[in-house]
Chain A
Amino acid sequence: MDPTVLVPVLLVIALAIFFDFTNGFHDTANAMATSVATGALKPKVAVLISAVLNLVGAFLSTAVAKTVSEGILAQDDQGLPQITVPMIFAGLMGAVVWNLLTWWLGLPSSSTHALFGGLIGAAVIGVGFQAVEWGGVLSKIVLPALLSPFIAGIVALCATFLVYRITRMATVDGSSTAFRHGQTVSASLVSLAHGTNDAQKTMGVITLTLIVAGAQEAGTGPQLWVILCAGLAIALGTYLGGWRIMRTVGKRITDVKPPQGFAAETSAASTILISSTLGFPLSTTQVTSGAVIGSGLGKRLASVRWNVVTRIAFAWVVTLPAAAIVGGGAAWAASAGIVGLLGVLVIGLAACAGLFALARRRPVSADTVNDESLDADRLGARHPEGEPA
């Protein structure tokens, strides 16, 4: 393979694996935030379980990987989207930068939306509006995104109300311990389901790149090394843990108690599994965040911090367009040949390094994940009226 093709392909693979890593540590919070908050699992144990289950999940199925861009990017007669390798690189860069920015802000936004946003932006700038299936974007991304938090929220609200009623506000002997055990099981199911979905998206992008570059037959599934790399990257990211986001989901939306954690994770697990089974997969991030909000409402209407919820909702709305803008800008620069591509690489890596440096100024770790007093001037620390002390 000549170097002008090989270099971009290698860059895409490296960046895709890095994206997968950010996806892992962004989404640890989905499954494990409530378990850490209620003390059902020690923080390090929680991320270890989640990491292992994500790795296992990556090997279970490659169905999603084959159809990663289907219905989102327009395809030609061979079933390939009209996208070039530098455009995929640009799209990934948009996704990575957005993922790190929301991580720094401690906001649980969807990594999938960031990925598709980046690819859509790159495709629009690189090819034009006809390169994107807008109907598919509406029905597969926008509509589920708008509805899934409400669905999960209502389900979790009903479940929380019910378990509190049955256990007389959790005063029945042994309730808290039992709810913690139950929560560990349902959170593990969420992790496994996450692995079967999210690691696949990276595999799909790498496979798409190899096909577009002519290194792999069209219509074939991901190769073993791709599955292995993607699985390990997401597991490593999960293990290192996005403590910043975990604290938002487990402590700031509402202070999650064992019955709520149980109800929220059980709602999330069943909603995610049922939606994938019925062929209408919902975003893990949005389902779990919605379920946590619902579990706060199910206990007492006033115990949800709406200013935190508003920020999260805002991040959800802007994730796709913001990643699209970064991806589009990167695609424009990358279209100027290898120099442009390297420019995108340097600027992108500088942005990532900057965000890591900013995060180190106010670190959140396994030891401080449940400590709310830490950054009193940040996200959601203002206690609204009527908040129990």
Chain B
Amino acid sequence: MNTAVLRADVSGSLASEGGSILLVFVVGLAATVIIAGLYALGIRFFAVGAPDVVVRHGDDPEGPTAIVAPREHARPRAATAAGLVCFAGVAAAVLYGIYLVIPLFH
């Protein structure tokens, strides 16, 4: 292989690799933000009616200074439903992840 061909090969493949790495970044960012966001929203919905853990600003909610109070009133049905929808979305994403890992499926 002469040098001209070699150089063309390298730059061509680098350009295409650069494109796919950008795609990985964009898709990865979108997927992660959606999945992690849904999960956190699910936690938030399930906690409706329960007081927050009280900590001094910046302290660890699991640390020795944290105060956990008991639930004030029962969780509204709408909050339970919304939470379940969020967790179902996350579960679907996990199943899709397993599907992607196992080549037998596709």
A contact residues vs B (CB 8 Å cutoff): 57, 60-61, 63, 134-136, 138-140, 143-144, 147, 151-152, 154-156, 158-159, 162-163, 166-176, 178-179, 182, 185-186, 189, 192-193, 196, 257-258, 262-263, 266-267, 269-271, 273-280, 282, 388
Contacts and interface: CB of A to CB of B under 8 A. Distances in A.
Interface in B45-101: 46-47, 50-55, 58, 60-62, 68, 71, 90, 94, 97-98, 100-101
A156 B43 CA distance: 19
Interface of B: 6, 9-10, 13-14, 17-18, 20-21, 23-25, 27-29, 31-33, 35-37, 39-44, 46-47, 50-55, 58, 60-62, 68, 71, 90, 94, 97-98, 100-104
A174 B47 contact: yes
Contacts of A144: 17, 21
Contact of B101 (A158, A170, A189): A189
A185 B55 CA distance: 28
A80 B84 CA distance: 54
Given A60-B101, A151-B28, A280 B21 contact: yes
A266 B32 contact: yes
A32 B80 CA distance: 31
| Binding site secondary structure of chain B | helix
A158 B44 CA distance: 18
B106 to A, nearest CB: 9
Contacts of B40: 162-163, 166-167
A280 B20 CA distance: 7
Contact of B50 (A139, A173, A189): A173
B84 to A, nearest CB: 13
B52 A173 contact: yes
Contact of A162 (B37, B61, B101): B37
Contacts of B90: 182
